Amino acid sequence: MSLGPYFLSGEARLEPEGPSDTILLRGRRTQGILILKANQEALAAIEEVGIEDYLLGVLPYEMDPSWPLEALKAQAVVARSFAYSQLGKYRRLGYDLTSDTRSQLYRGRGEAWPRIRRAVEETRGEVMGYRGRILPAYYHACCGGHTTDAASVWGAAEARLSPPPLRGVRDRFCRASPHARWSAYFEDSEILAALQGKRLLAGPLRRLEVALRDAVGYVKSFRAQVGSERLLVGAGDLRRALGNGELRSLRIARLSRRKRGVEFAGSGSGHGVGLCQWGARLQAEKGRRYEQILRFYFPGSLLSVLEP
């Protein structure tokens, strides 16, 4: 690896000289030490940062900084819990977390949002736990009236991530969210392209319907007919293929056949597990504290403080 006039056989650690100094990388300012590691395919840039500073680079991108403080504090606790629960997931690649939605959105040292800083500082070290372990505290934009079971979304292989606090609750608060009800239309050609995957399908789309739902209404699989061939399609696979932004969630009430396509009518936005962000906002606006919000979405969990 060459770095200016220097040639390095191992990794390089770039350290800011002072506490207020930063390193600029692709338009983003890092907060801590930057580790550069070369491999056979690319140059990896890894930021080494403390968890509380990390949260300052997560919260404003996962929740609107103008939202009520108690909602932001609830978000700080779940983001901290999720980060701790994921440590080591990418160890073989040399880091713990990604800066995208595979982990949490992280943008380094950005604008100093006073309310974000206060939410992090006033919950310093606090995490959600269950039976002596840190809870993988998932969150999403809007549940549409009911959160769902983590195992229902990610399958039996992830059942270990689905203790009682992650099995879903009825949520009357988020019904006032702008995401509470939605519809999305896809032309037959878009659905056929999404169904193709690695298979070669011939013929028109004759049918698309819900095959299986979980206990609270989230679709687990679809049944389709293309030409004379019948298919059973995983709901998550179809949503990813059609676009998570367009097909906002799998809490789908009905499918309606149109002349050249299919209209989906549903509620909520996101996978539906854990904290509902819009529900948290509306609870905070009604005067609920963040501890109450967390107990509501993660029943049976404990709020604990990790020693520094």
Per-residue pLDDT 10s for the chain (308 aa) are 777 888 877 788 888 888 778 888 877 888 778 888 876 667 888 999 899 999 999 999 999 999 999 999 999 999 999 999 999 888 888 889 999 988 999 988 767 789 999 999 999 999 999 999 999 999 999 999 999 998 888 875 554 557 899 999 999 998 888 888 999 999 999 999 999 875 778 889 999 999 999 989 999 999 999 998 999 999 999 999 999 989 999 999 999 999 899 999 999 999 999 999 999 999 999 999 999 999 999 999 999 998 76
- Confidence (pLDDT) at 160: 58
Residue ranges per domain, the chain?
1-48, 50-176+271-305, 182-266
| Distance separating alpha carbons of residues 264 and 82, to the nearest angstrom | 31
- Confidence (pLDDT) at 293: 98
Please list the residues that pair with 60 across neighbouring strands.
Answer: none
Tokens representing residue 109 in the block: 């040292």
Tell me which residue of 142, 138, 143 sits closest to 103, measured CA to CA. 138
- Confidence (pLDDT) at 18: 82
Looking up tokens 């100093």 gives 112
The model's pTM is 0.89
- Confidence (pLDDT) at 304: 93
Tokens representing residue 294 in the block: 């967390």
Q: Is the dihedral of CA 193, 199, 203, 205 positive or negative?
A: negative
- Confidence (pLDDT) at 58: 94
- Confidence (pLDDT) at 9: 77
- Confidence (pLDDT) at 198: 58
- Confidence (pLDDT) at 20: 78
Which own/partner contact pairs does 246-252 have at CB distance under 8 Å and 24+ positions apart? 246/184, 246/186, 247/184, 247/186, 248/179, 248/182, 248/184, 249/142, 249/144, 249/218, 250/218, 250/219, 250/220, 251/143, 251/144, 251/145, 251/146, 251/148, 251/216, 251/217, 251/218, 251/219, 252/210, 252/219
- Confidence (pLDDT) at 158: 54
